[in-house]
Amino acid sequence: MSKCLSSMQRSRLASVKTHRWTPVLLLLAAAFAVSCGKFFPDANSLVAISVTPSNASLQLTKTQQFTAIGSFGDGTSRDVSSSVTWSSSSSGVASINNTGLATALQTGTTTISASQSGQTGSTTLTVTTGSSGGLTISCTGCTGQGAGTFTASAGSTLTFTATNSSNQTVNATWSSSNTTVANIGTATGIATNVSTGTATITANASGSTGSVTLTVQ
């Protein structure tokens, strides 16, 4: 009988120990689940934002269209300009509206930021009095042109050039807001094998900036 009771007591003791550890194990499991979310973001989670053009220079009273590109947990990127919150660190230097269009108000430097879902991307905008005027961008290989816009066919090769207010071609530094659509050569202004979508093409030279919207169909 004593052996039987001893066995029952051991069984109860083991049960008590198991129940005692159950809340701890549940807490550890919950903590692990939360940490996994941090290290392995959901495919649809926004993980970073980049703002283009970077380090732009703008003359007084002129405007500059900024673009926000979001990077997501599945490795894809897309234009999120219309859904982010835009801001200027010095609204007296340049204001920016909810579409990312900045207006130069006085000389100086400001930080242009785009924020969404806890992520923020930013770049610097310098406003100058400059006398050279903005840059005008042309495209060889594009199929159509509008006010600050170009259209092109998917798979084509495009060559962009920039001229100043004196109508002189300048050696510009080029950038694309969406390299998946148009991966443009920084020094050449050439974009090969463009893909369907929209991108902002920007040229910077000697403190002047110009940008156009490219739509590939």
Same domain (yes/no): 93, 145: no
CATH of residue 201: 2.60.40
Between CA 100 and CA 105 the distance in angstroms is 16
Domain that holds residue 166: 136-216
35 and 50 belong to one structural domain: no
Clarify whether residues 84 and 36 are in a common domain.
Answer: no
CA–CA distance from 28 to each of 14, 38, 214 (Å)? Answer: 21, 16, 51
| Residue 110 confidence (pLDDT) | 93
Task: Pick the last residue of a domain from 71, 98, 128.
Answer: 128
Do 166 and 212 lie in a common domain?
Answer: yes
Average pLDDT over residues 103-126: 91
CA distances to 20, 23, 25, 117, 122 from 214, in Å: 64, 58, 55, 28, 22
Q: Check residue 1 and give its pLDDT.
A: 44
Confidence bin at 184 (pLDDT 50/70/90) = very high
Same domain for 150 and 117, yes or no, is: no
Distance CA 55, CA 116 (A): 21
Distance in angstroms (rounded) separating the CA atoms of residues 64 and 102: 5
Peptide bond before residue 53 is cis, with ω within 30 degrees of 0: yes
pLDDT at 18 over 90: no
Work out the pLDDT band at 19, boundaries 50, 70, 90: low
Query: Are 83 and 119 members of one domain?
Result: yes
- Same domain? For 122 and 154 the reply is no
Q: How many domains does the chain have?
A: 3
The rounded mean pLDDT for the chain is 81
- Residue 47 neighbours by CB under 8 Å, 6+ apart: 41, 71, 72, 73, 119
**Which residue among 96, 128, 160 closes a domain?**
128
Q: How far apart are CA 43 and CA 65, in angstroms?
A: 29
* Same domain, yes or no: 69 and 10: no
Q: What is residue 184's DSSP assignment?
A: B
Q: Which helix (H) or strand (E) holds 111?
A: strand 108-116
